[in-house]
Amino acid sequence: MAGLGCARQLHNLFKQHGDLLAKLGLEEPNVIVLEGRSRIGGRVYSRSLQVQPRHRHPEFHQSRCIAEMGGMVVTGFDRGNPMNVLIRGQLGLGYHALLSTATIYDIDGNPVDAKRDRMVEDLFNECLDRVSKYKFKVPLPKIIEGNRDYIDQRRDLPSEGHQTIASVEENAAAQKQHARRFDDVEAVERQISEQSQFAPATPNLVRERETTCEGREMPAIKRFSQAHQPPNKPATMTAALKLKTLGWKLKPGVGEEQDIDLDPAASVPGTTLGSVVEDAIRQFGDLVDLSAQDFRLLNWHIANLEYSNAVNHDRLSLFGWDIDAGNEWEGKHSMIIGGYQSVPRGLMLCPTPLHVRKQMVVKKVSYGGPDGASLPGICKAHKSPVVIEFEDGSTFDADYVVNTIPLGVLKHGDVEFDPPLPQWKLGPITRLGYGVLNKIILTYRQPFWDTNRDIFGVLREPDNRFSLDQEQYAKHRGRMFQWFNVTKTTGVPCLIALMAGDAALDAEKDSNDKLIAEATSVLQSVFGAQNVPEPIEAVVTRWASDRFSRGSYSSAGPAMQLDDYDAMARPVGRHLHFAGEHTIGTHPATVHGAYLSGLRAASEIFEELVGPIKVPVPLFTPKRSVMRTTKRKLTLDEERATASNGSSGSNNANSGGNTPNDARASVRRRPEVPELRVEEHTLKQPAGRRQQPPRLDDSPYELFSEANYQRASKICEQSRRPGKGPPTPEEVRAVTSKMWRKASIEERLPYAEEASERSDKYEALVQKLLREA
């Protein structure tokens, strides 16, 4: 993802700024992607299922049914997710928005009591609230929050920022203290075997079974799982009082004044998030009675957190485990119909194919040293600053290299760097964590689950099912603890079970038969033995054993330092750059993070070549000149429209509707030519385009204002001094708004009715699109 995103961005920048390159006497550089595998997409892999149904669901338009092996969930399209631009704006891919209501089933197959479920979740969140006080003090930006009104009006506040400088300095000091607490320690890697597939011979048909339980809102979603939303608020009540307010009954003899103390656990050398959370659970257990079911529920939440981080919480930094908190996108989590891999494919192919060479397994990167000095060893024969050596013995010369090789592969030492990477780069490679999440993907002839639900949870028990010992829960809690119904996006009735934490590593060793038998028995416990057949096809991922990823994604290892992700991103010398999910501390371990890191690396290289990209100052044109530009554009547009009508001979300026208003509308509506080309191209792509419903949800005032625009404009004109020119749209809008305020209820009514009718229509259209998705 990072590599293709970077290549596409560089390709575009070079095309867009050809004049700058020419001025510097440079030819347009070649951008080449070198990929070790025989496919593109890396950890975004929508693998074709072997069993393709003869009669595909009429609403599934894709050419093949797939299993999502890796990245799968788009974590909300709003608040700046770049995937929004790619998926909805440029590639126009169909997607399914996930429902956040889900049911958690207990070991006996019954849904967990909603009240108890909520109480335990609150208790777990209280644990995280309390450990959050040990988090790294991330430096605050100089401006924390601007004045929303000023931002909307694109104006600067005269004195912004000064209030937060003191807190910035305070944080910087705290951060240095944390950084000194650790030395580099870390080393873990797993055995090798292939990602595998299993297809039992005997298919089975089953009767669909209704799930009647209500379901719960899944815990606030973090990254692509549903982990705890970091609270960042200090505990203000004693632990006992807090538990009481959450509905827990205190043990006899426990007073409301009783608190818990996590400082001793947090100050033990080598402390981790897990060790302190477990201490918190133990201390909470002294205040209230926790049953075995409570432990199962608590450990379900821990498994969920381990899913987010692809590692046992005992191997997460207490100080930095949620370093990206606060950067989440907004909007519903979604999955791409026909597979997430359409996104890297789109990056590779649209609007023109990039140069991608597959099966080029990199063995060595010789980059001339951090200062770009002459190349040692084999590279003396080459003139270029970087030489890449492949496993088959061939070499490739480059001016610049962006290394997007996953952190797991770097940790494993599969790629040699000449000269070796400096210590400031090796430190973060060692300290950052890199764990594994695995999936068991099961397809069936018929669904036997509630097809209207997207997610359900299943509690897991330790070897001793009545155990009240927290330690015993770690091994099994992540085994098939969360299930996704992905029928709508894969094209066949399909469930995906997640294997998180220790269970993910165990899955790499277990046989397919064992895993599938266990998954079937978990499903039978929930849906009834008679209803759950053997799957017709099953796929088990083994990401730790995959030589091109050696795990799933990065995390905050126990010894991580605050700026480790930033150090991973920094280039070594001028010619060796880095990108990938492990190089972006604001959005690590995600597809969008990988993509953003690719954009960042592209701008670094572009700047190396042609200097900084000029950002217009001021970034936003002041109001008056915006108006003048718009006016100029309108005039130009009118002139063009007149000219083209005149030349075709079919119309003249007065009869053909080329009034200033029409011209204004056409300026607003007409997409730029490149956009049109992209749209035209993407419409032809196999993934199929889902059209956005036209916006029909105007407010009554907007409708009123549109209908009365001319009238208001005339009023404005009449009150203007002669020679002052026509009124600006702002001035007209000020009048329409005055007219609206003065309008009686009767006058407003028709607009209110029309707005409500439009809103219903819009809602119906959205629902229809959602159903189709």
Ligand X SMILES: Cc1cc2nc3c(=O)[nH]c(=O)nc-3n(C[C@H](O)[C@H](O)[C@H](O)COP(=O)(O)OP(=O)(O)OC[C@H]3O[C@@H](n4cnc5c(N)ncnc54)[C@H](O)[C@@H]3O)c2cc1C
- Minimum distance between the CB of residue 53 and ligand X, rounded to whole angstroms? 25
Q: Which is nearer to ligand X, 254 or 415 (CB)?
A: 415
The two structure tokens encoding residue 604: 């670094």
- Minimum distance between the CB of residue 695 and ligand X, rounded to whole angstroms? 28
- Cα 389 from Cα 375, distance rounded (Å): 14
- Minimum distance between the CB of residue 224 and ligand X, rounded to whole angstroms? 3
- Minimum distance between the CB of residue 195 and ligand X, rounded to whole angstroms? 10
Look at the block and give the residue holding tokens 């796929």: 539
Q: What is the DSSP string of 379-397?
A: GGG--SSEEEEETTS-EEE
Q: Which is nearer to ligand X, 429 or 589 (CB)?
A: 589
Read off φ and ψ for residue 59, nearest 5 degrees: -90, 0
Strand order in the sheet with 333-336: 73-75, 333-336, 95-97
- Minimum distance between the CB of residue 349 and ligand X, rounded to whole angstroms? 16
- Minimum distance between the CB of residue 4 and ligand X, rounded to whole angstroms? 8
- Minimum distance between the CB of residue 259 and ligand X, rounded to whole angstroms? 38
**Of 135, 177, 171, the residue nearest 320 (C-alpha):** 135
The two structure tokens encoding residue 679: 């749209």
Q: Are strands 73-75 and 455-458 parallel, antiparallel or unpaired?
A: unpaired
Distant-in-sequence, close-in-space partners of 79: CB < 8 Å, separation ≥ 6: 328, 329, 330, 331
Q: Which is nearer to ligand X, 339 or 580 (CB)?
A: 580
Contact 434, 411 (CB under 8 A): yes
Q: Which is nearer to ligand X, 88 or 592 (CB)?
A: 592
Q: Which residue has its beta carbon closest to ligand X?
A: 42
- Minimum distance between the CB of residue 483 and ligand X, rounded to whole angstroms? 14
Q: Which is nearer to ligand X, 93 or 243 (CB)?
A: 93
Contact 249, 150 (CB under 8 A): no
DSSP state of 59: T
| CA-CA-CA-CA dihedral for 378, 381, 386, 391, to nearest 10 | -50
Q: Which is nearer to ligand X, 396 or 762 (CB)?
A: 396
- Cα 329 from Cα 80, distance rounded (Å): 7
HSE-up of residue 613 (Cα within 13 Å, Cβ side): 13
Q: Which is nearer to ligand X, 360 or 515 (CB)?
A: 360
Q: Which is nearer to ligand X, 82 or 535 (CB)?
A: 82
- Cα 441 from Cα 195, distance rounded (Å): 12
- Cα 763 from Cα 266, distance rounded (Å): 51
- Minimum distance between the CB of residue 304 and ligand X, rounded to whole angstroms? 13
The two structure tokens encoding residue 46: 């929508």
Q: Which is nearer to ligand X, 495 or 594 (CB)?
A: 594
Judge residue 689's burial from the number of C-beta atoms within 10 Å of its C-beta, 0-12 exposed, 13-18 middle, 19 or more buried: middle
Q: What is the DSSP string of 644-708?
A: HHHHHTS--TTTTT--HHHHHHHHHHPPPHHHHHHHHHHHHSTT-BPPPPPP----HHHHHHHHT
Binding-site ranges for ligand X (CB under 6 A)? 1-3, 35-37, 42-44, 70-73, 224, 360-362, 404-406, 409, 414-415, 437, 439, 541, 543, 548-549, 552-553, 580-581, 589-592, 594
Q: Which is nearer to ligand X, 2 or 560 (CB)?
A: 2
Contact 357, 13 (CB under 8 A): no
Judge residue 683's burial from the number of C-beta atoms within 10 Å of its C-beta, 0-12 exposed, 13-18 middle, 19 or more buried: exposed
The two structure tokens encoding residue 537: 């096809």
Q: Which is nearer to ligand X, 119 or 441 (CB)?
A: 441
Q: Which is nearer to ligand X, 460 or 587 (CB)?
A: 587
Measured between its terminal Cα atoms, the distance across the chain in Å is 24
Q: Are strands 101-105 and 455-458 parallel, antiparallel or unpaired?
A: parallel
Cα–Cα distance list, 176 to 169, 180, 323 (Å): 11, 6, 16
The two structure tokens encoding residue 630: 């718009």
Q: What is the DSSP string of 758-772?
A: HHHHHHHHHHHHHHH
- Minimum distance between the CB of residue 334 and ligand X, rounded to whole angstroms? 10
Q: Are strands 401-403 and 576-578 parallel, antiparallel or unpaired?
A: parallel
Q: Which is nearer to ligand X, 279 or 414 (CB)?
A: 414
- Cα 688 from Cα 711, distance rounded (Å): 45
- Cα 491 from Cα 68, distance rounded (Å): 11
Q: Which is nearer to ligand X, 71 or 230 (CB)?
A: 71
Q: Which is nearer to ligand X, 239 or 401 (CB)?
A: 401
- Minimum distance between the CB of residue 70 and ligand X, rounded to whole angstroms? 4
Q: Which is nearer to ligand X, 271 or 590 (CB)?
A: 590
- Minimum distance between the CB of residue 557 and ligand X, rounded to whole angstroms? 16
- Minimum distance between the CB of residue 772 and ligand X, rounded to whole angstroms? 23
- Minimum distance between the CB of residue 134 and ligand X, rounded to whole angstroms? 26
- Minimum distance between the CB of residue 653 and ligand X, rounded to whole angstroms? 53
HSE-up of residue 64 (Cα within 13 Å, Cβ side): 12
- Minimum distance between the CB of residue 580 and ligand X, rounded to whole angstroms? 3
